[in-house]
Amino acid sequence: MPDGSVIFHLEEVAVPNLRKERIAIWMHNSVIAEGKDLGDVNCILCTDEYLLEINKTYLNHDTFTDIVTFNYVENDIIAGDLFISIDRVKENAASYKIDFLQELRRVIIHGILHLLGYNDKTPEEVEEIRAKEDFYLTLYAD
């Protein structure tokens, strides 16, 4: 069981079949595999509009996005808030022709990887973070 806590918050959205405990264990195992410990992580699942307001208010970005990550990492304890737009996840899943929950897990692990220090600003960083996403997605089991 995870040392910290992973708490899911639903803001004006419903997410059927969300296996919170299984996802929390997977997040914990992914963090441990990177040599860190899992602290407290909030996954706030919300609408495009909700996340747009977060993006504008805190990051001065006036764009839709699938995730905004706030990092509260201290030493080797991975902690933060992952704000995830369910609208974007649904749209991306349809575009990529994949299952909604699979795309949601990809976005969640993307946020965790940001908390672990991975970035996606350069082509090299994008390649690295995508490879990590793919690897950790293979470790998720229902």
CA 74 to CA 101: how far, in whole Å?
A: 30
Q: Which of 9, 7, 8, 17 is nearest to 101 (CA)?
A: 17
| Average pLDDT value for residue range 31-40 | 96
Residue 1 has pLDDT above 50, yes or no: no
Per the prediction, the chain carries an average pLDDT of 94
pLDDT digits (tens, 9 = 90+) for 121-137: 999 999 999 999 999 99
- Contact 48/8 with Cβ under 8 angstroms? no
Q: Which of 93, 83, 78 is nearest to 55 (CA)?
A: 83
pLDDT digits (tens, 9 = 90+) for 6-26: 999 999 999 988 999 999 999
What's the confidence (pLDDT) of residue 2?
42
Q: Which amino acid is at 49?
A: E
**19-27 long-range contacts, CB within 8 A, separation 24+:** 19/142, 22/140, 22/142, 23/105, 23/108, 23/140, 25/1, 26/105, 26/136, 26/139, 26/140, 27/2, 27/108, 27/109, 27/112
Which has more confidence, 3 or 15? Answer: 15
pLDDT digits (tens, 9 = 90+) for 79-125: 999 999 999 999 999 999 999 999 999 999 999 999 999 999 999 99
Among the CATH numbers 3.40.390.30, 3.60.130.10, 3.40.1350.10, 3.20.20.140, which is that of 6-138? 3.40.390.30
**Residue 8 class from Cβ within 10 Å (0-12 exposed, 13-18 middle, 19+ buried)?**
middle
Contacts of 120 (CB under 8 A, 6+ apart): 114, 126, 129
| Average pLDDT value for residue range 53-62 | 91
What's the confidence (pLDDT) of residue 3?
65
